[in-house]
Amino acid sequence: KQEVTQIPAALSVPEGENLVLNCSFTDSAIYNLQWFRQDPGKGLTSLLLIQSSQREQTSGRLNASLDKSSGRSTLYIAASQPGDSATYLCAPRGSQGNLIFGKGTKLSVKP
């Protein structure tokens, strides 16, 4: 059974800092992994999709890496902004087809 852990659970940084969010998963037999953000009371917004054959995927100030064999992914956010404040969720997609979520990292970027 896939289990996903995200560290840290919460993070508070001043504006402009670069930061790294960590995700680990127990079953490395995945098709891909998605990173999402969730704003309070809202749905999930897809940020990046990284395929199992890929090492990295970039979108703007975001960069996701994947080390499938060790069951780890990181999300790097460059030059953080207050608008980046949200909960960030990682979700590997396994052979069953569904996404399994961690509890997320709650990010707060202070102006």
Partner 1 sequence: NAGVMQNPRHLVRRRGQEARLRCSPMKGHSHVYWYRQLPEEGLKFMVYLQKENIIDESGMPKERFSAEFPKEGPSILRIQQVVRGDSAAYFCASSPQGLRGMNTEAFFGQGTRLTVV
CB of 93 to partner 1, least distance (A): 7
The answer to whether 49 contacts partner 1 (rule: CB under 8 A) is yes
Q: Which of 18, 103, 108, 110 binds partner 1 (CB under 8 A)?
A: 103
Which residue stretch of 11-19, 59-67, 78-86, 88-96 sits at the interface with partner 1 (rule: CB under 8 A)?
88-96
The answer to whether 93 contacts partner 1 (rule: CB under 8 A) is yes
Rounded Cα gap, residues 35 and 33, in angstroms: 7
In sequence order, the 6+-apart residues with CB closer than 8 A to the CB of 56 are 50, 63, 64, 65, 66
**Burial letters for 17-34: b for 16+ Cβ neighbours within 10 Å, e otherwise?**
eebebebbbeeeebebbb
The answer to whether 46 contacts partner 1 (rule: CB under 8 A) is yes
Q: Which of 68, 92, 101, 107 binds partner 1 (CB under 8 A)?
A: 101
Structure token pair of residue 50: 């990284």
The answer to whether 36 contacts partner 1 (rule: CB under 8 A) is yes
CA atoms within 13 A on the CB side of 22: 8
Sites of contact with partner 1 (CB under 8 A): 31-32, 34, 36, 42-46, 49, 51, 89, 93, 96-104
